[in-house]
Amino acid sequence: MPLLFHKKPALVVYVTCGDPNLATTREIVLAAIEAGADVIELGVPFSDPVADGPVIQRASERALKHGTSLAQVLTLAAEIRQHAQSTGLIIFSYLNPILRMGMKKFCAVARHAGVDGVLVTDLPVEEAGEYLQAMRANDLAPVFLASPTSPDARLKQIAAASKGFVYAVSRTGVTGARQQLAADAQKLVRRLRKVTKLPVAVGFGISTAAQFAEVGGFADAVVVGSAIVETIERNRGREAAAVAEFVCGLSAVSHQPSAKTG
């Protein structure tokens, strides 16, 4: 199933799987889809999340405390796929758990689970040779990060290697909320448009409906991560309902249908 952005801007929701436990993650994800999420990023908790801010660090620690693993996340993906046919599913992971499972095995299992794409935070295009091969062989979409610090030549490489969409990082830094979005994000999207026809999703630091609308004005999709994870953290016992309310609040602004697909 290809990654589709049904509306403009589309909403991409990130969750750290296994926080507070996998059964709840499943409920949260289904609730988010019901509330309007177009694509779900299933975050694989990692012991050393160098690209993440405090919110996702804490969530990862909680998830790892009871042994959440990549294999379990893939099983969860398969369950979600049974309930949600048209939602894009992306595995969002650091490289080491994937290496430990084995690149080929990981891609095969992910495909079998009905996963659409994969984003590996600490795998730049230069090191992605074998990964891209295994992804291609299993018809999975590799999504790469583009950063405001990436020169144009790198943006070209990133866009060429990506499928489905390109994930533009709104600013330098780790994941997590910011009061203001730097002008960096819009500039980066503009630079990406020059080198690719793929849709561009912008993420990192987007936590409010106002920011969602602002970024949605120039990006095809908006990724909301830490704000979702924080909502989960703050609403013990009613995580799914709280996330649904939060997502409804965000996507209330995005009604227009869009023909743009990946």
Partner 1 sequence: MATVPRTTKIKIPTLAAKNAARMGHPRVPVRAPEPGRFGVYGGRYVPETLMAALDELDREYQKAKRDRKFQQRLDELLRTYAGRPTPLFFARRLTQKLGGAKIYLKREDLLHTGAHKINNCLGQALLVERMGKHRVIAETGAGQHGVATATVCALLGFECVVYMGTEDMRRQELNVFRMRLLGAEVRGVESGSRTLKDAINEAMRDWVTNVRTTHYLLGSVLGAHPYPTMVRDFHRVIGREARAQILKAEGKLPAAIIACVGGGSNSIGIFYDFIKDRKVQLIGVEAGGRGEKLGDHAARFRGGLPGVLQGTYSYVLQDSAGQIATTHSVSAGLDYPSIGPEHAALRDAGRAEYVPASDAEALEATTLLARTEGIIPALESAHAVAEVVKRAPKMKKSEVVIVNVSGRGDKDIGILRENLRIN
Q: Which is nearer to partner 1, 48 or 252 (CB)?
A: 48
Which of 27, 34, 79, 122 forms a contact with partner 1 (CB under 8 A)? 122
DSSP 126: G
Which of 17, 98, 159, 195 forms a contact with partner 1 (CB under 8 A)? 98
Burial class (CB in 10 A: 0-12, 13-18, 19+), 189: buried
Any contact of residue 253 with partner 1 (CB under 8 A)?
Answer: no
Q: Which is nearer to partner 1, 181 or 250 (CB)?
A: 181
Q: Which is nearer to partner 1, 95 or 241 (CB)?
A: 95
Q: Which is nearer to partner 1, 51 or 241 (CB)?
A: 51
How many CB atoms are closer than 10 A to CB 177? 17
What is the Cα–Cα distance from 188 to 63, expressed in whole angstroms? Answer: 33
User: φ, ψ for residue 42 (rounded to 5)?
Assistant: -90, 105
Q: Which is nearer to partner 1, 2 or 102 (CB)?
A: 102
Which residue, among 192, 118, 128, 110, has the nearest Cα to 155 in the 3D structure?
192
Question: What ranges in 47-202 are assigned the alpha helix state H?
Answer: 54-65, 70-83, 95-101, 103-113, 129-137, 152-161, 184-195
Binding mask 8-47 for partner 1 (x = CB under 8 A): --------------------------------------xx
Q: Tell me if residue 62 falls in helix, strand or coil.
A: helix
- Residues catalogued as catalytic: 41, 52
Spatial CB neighbours of 18, under 8 Å, sequence gap ≥ 6: 25, 45, 62, 63, 64, 66, 68, 72, 73
Shortest spacing between CB 48 and partner 1, in angstroms: 5
Contacts with partner 1 by CB under 8 A: the residue count is: 50
Any contact of residue 183 with partner 1 (CB under 8 A)?
Answer: no
Spatial CB neighbours of 19, under 8 Å, sequence gap ≥ 6: 25, 45, 59, 60, 62, 63, 68, 229, 232, 233
Any contact of residue 237 with partner 1 (CB under 8 A)?
Answer: no
Binding window for partner 1 (CB under 8 A); candidates: 12-20, 88-96, 135-143, 233-241: 88-96
Site for partner 1 in 40-79 (CB under 8 A): 46-53, 57, 61, 64, 67, 69-71
Two tokens, residue 82 = 């049974």
Any contact of residue 182 with partner 1 (CB under 8 A)?
Answer: no
Q: Tell me if residue 262 falls in helix, strand or coil.
A: coil
How many CB atoms are closer than 10 A to CB 22? 18
Site for partner 1 in 125-164 (CB under 8 A): 126-131, 144-151, 154, 158
Q: Which is nearer to partner 1, 36 or 205 (CB)?
A: 205
Shortest spacing between CB 41 and partner 1, in angstroms: 15
Residues that bind partner 1 (CB under 8 A): 46-53, 57, 61, 64, 67, 69-71, 94-104, 121-124, 126-131, 144-151, 154, 158, 169, 172-174
